[in-house]
Amino acid sequence: MAKKSYQKGWVRPKGKKWYGYYEVKTFNPETSREEWKTAAPIALGLRSQITKFQARDALMTEIAKRTGNLSKPQTDMKVITFGWFFRNRWLPLKEADWKEETARDKKCIIQKDLIDQFDSIPLENFDKFSLQVHLNNLAKTRSRDRVLQIRAYLRDIFAEAVDQDFLPKDPARKVEVPKQLADTDTTVLSWEQLRNVLAKLALKDRLILELDMTNALRPSELFGLRWRDLNHVECLLELRETVYRGELRNWGKTRKALRPVHIPKELVDDLWLWRQECKTPWPDGFIFANRLGGFIDPQNYRKKMRELGKDLGLPKLIFQVIRRTIATLAQKKGTPKDIKVFCGTHDWQPPRMFTCSRFPKA
């Protein structure tokens, strides 16, 4: 009696039809042993009506029916589209490892650059040429990092399709990164430009940028700060919450993001002055509150920074540019190790020359 088989079998043309072959394990009474034998060939369809890939899929269905192995989806390859595979077979394997905000961003990128283009296209219709052309077109309008991301997603999605036996061959395996990619943004400001920015700001906004310049705090960390987090005596800020897309979270971007932060004494004194002026000076009040007393939306504040940059004639003014500027200009103010710690962690006391009133001359 035949036992369950988890094999794919093989397909061969014979005359005008495709025939499928597979092996079954049977008991031989003469030898008292189980032996593998090729079962009778199965007629799968006319060669003029179905492709070899479709014949293979039909053979898998027949093997499943005859051996009782129903672990593989019994769906016609014509309806296995890129969008269906992404939503039902690839995404469930990946999103369990993503944080909520990470998942939202990744889904948005894939939706815009892959799903909108390929949603209803059957998997079997893809080849290296079509995928390479799509990537080349993206390179004309997308950033370098975005193109590299999309290539990585393509390769991972189609590799998974092959692993799950939806495709016999990976069409994205040899897709290459286009050589003509948009230049990565390397905007760096000067000390003079930084001084001009701070000179135009009121105390509240100046403190926000100073904290970013001296401690490389992320916007999500800056706008989650409350007055109870400030230790005036020890010159410390305790990061306990972060802001992301209109919500407060008790975790940060990385595991070590929420921790005590040393800040210069000049900044502590200025923060104390700001507490006397602000409308939310109580312990649970936000240090940088909006008009209603809640936390500031980082996205809205970025728009404000961009407008200020335009008014001052700067090439770009965002938190990332400030962080890059300080890291670049600080190269002559300390060792590479000092700069790495300064720009990447929060457990180092920044030198006094980085405060707004003590910026070195250009």
Q: Tokens for 16?
A: 């005008």
From 191, 190, 245, 188, select the one nearest 220 (Cα to Cα). 245
Q: Tokens for 254?
A: 């990385």
- Give me the chain's average pLDDT, please: 81
* DSSP-assigned letters across all residues of 120-166: TSBGGG--HHHHHHHHHHHHHHS-HHHHHHHHHHHHHHHHHHHHTTS
pLDDT tier at 333 (50, 70, 90 boundaries)? low
**R_g over Cα of the chain:** 30
**Residue of 60 and 121 predicted with greater confidence:** 121
Q: Which residues contact 85 (CB under 8 A, 6 or more apart)?
A: 123, 157, 161, 166
Contacts by residues 189-194 (CB-CB < 8 Å, ≥ 24 positions apart)? 189/314, 189/315, 189/317, 189/321, 189/322, 189/325, 190/329, 190/362, 191/329, 191/359, 191/360, 191/361, 191/362, 192/362, 193/312, 193/314, 194/322, 194/325, 194/359
Q: Rounded to 5, what percent of the chain is helix, strand, coil?
A: 50, 15, 40
> DSSP E strands: which ranges in the chain?
10-14, 17-21, 23-28, 33-38, 42-46, 230-231, 236-238, 242-244, 247-249, 260-262
- Torsions phi, psi of 340, nearest 5? -60, -45
CATH number for the domain formed by residue range(s) 82-163: 1.10.150
pLDDT tier at 133 (50, 70, 90 boundaries)? very high
Region of residue 32 (left: phi > 0; alpha: psi -120 to 50; beta: else): left
pLDDT tier at 136 (50, 70, 90 boundaries)? very high
**Residue of 262 and 34 predicted with greater confidence:** 262
Is the pLDDT score of 190 beyond 90? Answer: no
Q: Tokens for 56?
A: 């293979």
What is the reported pLDDT for 6?
Answer: 52
Domain ranges of the chain: 10-74, 82-163, 191-358
| 2-11, 177-186, 287-296: the lowest-pLDDT one | 2-11
Tokens 């043309």 locate to 13
Cα separation, 320 vs 121, whole angstroms: 38
Tell me whether the CATH fold assigned to 82-163 matches the one assigned to 191-358.
no
Most confident segment among 37-41, 170-174, 331-335: 170-174
**Check: CATH 1.10.443.10 for 191-358?**
yes
Q: Which residues contact 126 (CB under 8 A, 6 or more apart)?
A: 82, 118, 158, 171, 172
**Residue of 135 and 255 predicted with greater confidence:** 135
Cα separation, 148 vs 151, whole angstroms: 5
Report yes or no: 348 and 360 within 8 Å, Cβ to Cβ: no
Other Cβ atoms closer than 10 A to 83: 15
What is the reported pLDDT for 160?
Answer: 93
Cα separation, 244 vs 218, whole angstroms: 11
